[in-house]
Amino acid sequence: MIVRGQGLTKDLSLDADLCVVGTGAGGAMVAREAARAGLRVVALEEGAHSTARDFTQREDEMLPLLFQDSGARATDDGAIQVLQGRGVGGSTVHNTNLCKRAPDAVLDGWKLDGWRAADLVPHYEVVERDLHVSRLEEGDLNRNNLLLRRGVEKLGWKGALLSHNRRGCTRSGFCELGCAFDAKENALKILVPEAASAGARVYADTRAEQILVENGRAVGVLARALAGDGRPGPRVTVRAQAVCIAGSAVGSARLALQSKLPDPQAAVGRSLRLHPGGAVAGIFDEPVEGWLGIPQSYECTEKLRFDENEANLDRTWIIPAFAHPVGLGNALPGFGAAHMARMRLYPRIAIFVAMLHDRSEGTVSVERGRLHIRYVLNASDQRALLRGMRACAELMFAAGARRVLVPFAQPLELDDPSRLQEIDARGYRPLDPLLTAVHPMGTLPLGRVVDVQGRYLGVQRLWVADGSLFPTSLGGPPQLTIYAAAHKIAGHLIAELRS
Amino acid sequence: MNRRRFLRTTLFGGALLSAAAIVGRHLSGYHLDAATAQKLKALSPKEYLVLSAVARRLLAPDAADAPDPDTLEVALFVDRYLYGLDEGLRSDVRALLHLVEHGSGPFRLGLTRFTHMTTAEQDRTLTDWAESSLTVRRQGFQALKSLALLGYYRHDRTWPLLGYSGPTLKRGPT
C-alpha cells in the first residue's frame, strides 16, 4: 500500500514492527526485506510518489519534483551543488543507473568486521540479480562516451564499459530527469512495489521530524504529512518496535541531530564526504549531441588509485557527464552574449567530469531549524581535483577536441595540449570552478556512530542503512553499495527483531 | 592573500553588503505595472525589477534570433520557482537581490543602483561579482546565473538556438 500524505486531512497514528525513514536505495531495500520476513513495516518518505508518466523530460518541471530543495541544495558557501533525490525511490529515480561495486581496497581499508570486500559479495549478488544489473554493450555508447573511450585508447589509459540496472531502455537520454519509459530497475520500480506487495505501508509526502526514544530505546517516529506546496499538514505518529533511518547522508544526519540522539563521540553529522566533481568541456568539429543516448556508459580509471599515501594525487574517477540545456548552461563559464555564443556550440560539446575520492571532511548540522552543509576542500584534495580536471582536458584533446573550456570564474579556454598546466596554475578557490556532488556519504559512519551490524550506538532498536554509514568516500558511484549494505543490515535487523 | 587579510576583507565586505541590504529595503522609486505585481508570489515588485535587470545582462542575446528574457518572462518564472523553495533559501535570494542593487556601487566607489547603471556598467558589476575575492559575492553571482539560466533555457523557444532537439515526449509549446 502506498499512501499519498497530501490526502491526509487529520492526524494519524500507526503501529508497526519497523518504521523505515526514507525509501531510496537503502530504505526501500530494508522495507522489502523486513516485509518479506513477515514484519509489519511502515516506510516514510518526505517526497512524492511519482511514476513514469510523471517524468516529462523537462528540467524546470523535474527539478522541483525529484530533487531536494528543487535542485538548489548546495554547501553553505555555494561552492558545491549537492544534488540529492527526493521522493519515493530517492536518488535512484534520477541517477544514471551506474552499478559499480566498491573497490576492494576501500572496503578492506575500513578494517571493519563483516565489511571486507569478500563479506559484501553475497549482498552485491542479490542486488545485481534482483535489479537486473548487467554490463552495457558496445551499442550503448553514445557519442559523448565514445569520445571518452577514444581519448582513453589514444593515450593508452585504463577505461571500461560500465554496468547498469536498466531493462527496456529506449536510450532517450533523459535518465537524470526520471525515466518516462520505466526502464530503470530501481527502488521505485522494483523494491518499493515488492515491499508494498509484502504488506509494507509506504507513506509519501510524509516528513519524519523526530525519532522517538524512550528509556534508551527507539519506539517510533514523529512525522508530518506535507501539502502540495510543501507546507506541513497533519501529524503522523508511528509507534514501532524498531526504527531504521535511511534518509541519505544529509537527511539521516539531520534527523539524528533534530532528534537529539546520543552522540558521545560528537561524530554525528561529521566526516561528510561529497565525492565532488569538476567538469571540463571539449568543443569538437564533429557532432556530439550528448543529450542523445545513455549518458554514462564508459569510465576512465587511469587517475584513480586507492593507496592512502598522502602523496597520492591520482584520486579522480573520470566519466562523461552531459546535461540538458539548463545544466549545461551552469557548466559553461561566463555570462551574457559570450555565454550564449558558447551555448550555441551545444551539439558539438562533450563534457567529462573528474569526481574526487575526497579525504576532506565536511559537516551536516541543524541550526535554528535550518540545514547547513559545510565542506571545504583541503589542499591535497584541491591539487588532486585539478589534476583530474587536467586529465579530462588531456582526454578531450586526445579525442580530437578543437578547444577545451575549463569553467573557472575567469574562463580558461585552451586551444592546445601544451597549455594543460595552466589548469593547475589557476589553483582552486570556492566557486572557482563550480563543483557538483551527487554522491554524499559519511555523517553516521560505521565504527563511530553505528556498529558493524548497523545499530546506532547508544540507542537500542535503532538502525541506519544508507550512504551515511560509509567511513570514507567509495571513490565511485555508491548506489550498488548502499543497496548491498542495506541488504546486509536488514538481515541483522530481522534476526534481532525475531529473537 | 594571507589569512588575516582575507578575514579583514571578508568582514569589511560582509558588513558593507549587510548595510547595503538593510538600507536598500527602505529605498523607493520602483514602479511595476499592477498586472505583473499581482502575479508575484515570492518577490516584491522591487526585487522583481532588480531580478529582471540582472537577467537581461546575464542572458544578453548574442544575435537577433535569440528571444530576450523579458519576452520569455524569465523573472516571473523565477518568482514561481522561488515560491516552491523553503523560506530560508527564498529569503537568501531576496536579500541577494537587494545586495546587487545597492551593494554593487560601493565596490566600484560609486552609489549608483544596479538598475540605474548603463548596460556596460552592469556587465562590469556582474563580472566583479563573478570574479570577486569574496566567496559570498561569487556565490551570489552563481545563484543568480543559475536562476536566470533555468528561467531562460527551460523555454522551448530557446532550444532551436542550441540545436537541441528537446524531449522525446512531445507536447505543445511551453
- Residue A76 counted as domain residue: no
Which chain A residues are Cβ-neighbours of B142 within 8 angstroms? Answer: 78, 431, 434
- Residue A416 counted as domain residue: yes
**A250 shares a domain with A119:** yes
- Residue A78 counted as domain residue: no
Which chain A residues are Cβ-neighbours of B6 within 8 angstroms? Answer: none
CA closest to A340 among chain B residues? B62
Whether chain A has a CB inside 8 Å of the CB on B15: the answer is: no
CATH number at residue A317: 3.30.410
Whether chain A has a CB inside 8 Å of the CB on B172: the answer is: no
Say if the Cβ atoms of B58 and A69 lie within 8 Å. no
**A302 shares a domain with A247:** no
Active-site annotation holds for A439: yes
Query: Least CB-CB distance to B58: which of A229, A336, A370?
Result: A336
Say if the Cβ atoms of B162 and A335 lie within 8 Å. no
Which H or E run contains A282?
A: strand A277-283
Q: Which of A419, A437, A455 is the last residue of a domain?
A: A437
**A403 shares a domain with A495:** no
**A405 shares a domain with A453:** no
Which of A132, A439, A487, A492 is catalytic? The answer is: A439
d(CA A498, CA A36): 13
- Residue A174 counted as domain residue: no
CATH number at residue A94: 3.50.50.60
CA closest to B161 among chain A residues? A344
Q: How does the average pLDDT of chain B come out, rounded? A: 85
Q: Which of A421, A437, A453 is the last residue of a domain?
A: A437
- Residue A296 counted as domain residue: yes
d(CA A116, CA A103): 10
**A409 shares a domain with A422:** yes
Query: Least CB-CB distance to A329: which of B81, B85, B149?
Result: B149
d(CA A30, CA B59): 47
- Which candidate, A497, A495, A491, places its Cα nearest to that of A29? A491
Structural domain span for residue A464: 1-64+86-132+179-269+441-499
Say if the Cβ atoms of A344 and B62 lie within 8 Å. yes
**A364 shares a domain with A481:** no
Whether chain A has a CB inside 8 Å of the CB on B165: the answer is: yes
Confidence of residue B18 (pLDDT cuts 50, 70, 90): low
Q: What is the helix, strand, coil percentage profile of chain A, to 5?
A: 35, 25, 40
B18 or B120, greater pLDDT? B120
Which chain B residues are Cβ-neighbours of A170 within 8 angstroms? Answer: 168
**A296 shares a domain with A366:** yes
Cell of A346: 551545444
d(CA A347, CA A439): 28
pLDDT of residue B11: 44
**A113 shares a domain with A237:** yes
pLDDT of residue B9: 42
**A35 shares a domain with A116:** yes
**A222 shares a domain with A105:** yes
Chain A nearest CA to B120, separation (Å):
11
**A327 shares a domain with A456:** no
- Residue A71 counted as domain residue: no
**A449 shares a domain with A419:** no
Domain count, chain A: 2
Cell of A426: 589557476
pLDDT of residue A142: 97
- Residue A75 counted as domain residue: no
Tell me how far CA of residue A402 lies from CA of A149, A332, A350, A413, A417, in angstroms: 17, 16, 11, 11, 10
ipTM for the assembly: 0.91
Strands A217-226 and A232-245: antiparallel
Chain A nearest CA to B115, separation (Å):
17
Chain A nearest CA to B37, separation (Å):
21
CA closest to A367 among chain B residues? B88
Q: What is the pLDDT along chain A (499 residues), one digit of tens a residue?
A: 999 988 899 999 999 999 999 999 999 999 999 999 999 999 999 999 999 999 999 999 999 999 999 999 999 999 999 999 999 999 999 999 999 999 999 999 999 999 999 999 999 999 999 999 999 999 999 999 999 999 999 999 999 999 999 999 999 999 999 999 999 999 999 999 999 999 999 999 999 999 999 999 999 999 999 998 888 999 999 999 999 999 999 999 999 999 999 999 999 999 999 999 999 999 999 999 999 999 999 999 999 999 888 889 999 999 999 889 999 999 898 999 999 999 999 999 999 999 999 999 999 999 999 999 999 999 999 999 999 999 999 999 999 999 999 999 888 999 999 999 999 999 999 999 999 999 999 999 999 999 999 999 999 999 999 999 999 999 999 999 999 999 999 999 999 999 8
CB-based contacts of A448: which residues, under 8 Å, 6+ apart?
Answer: A265, A267, A271, A457, A471
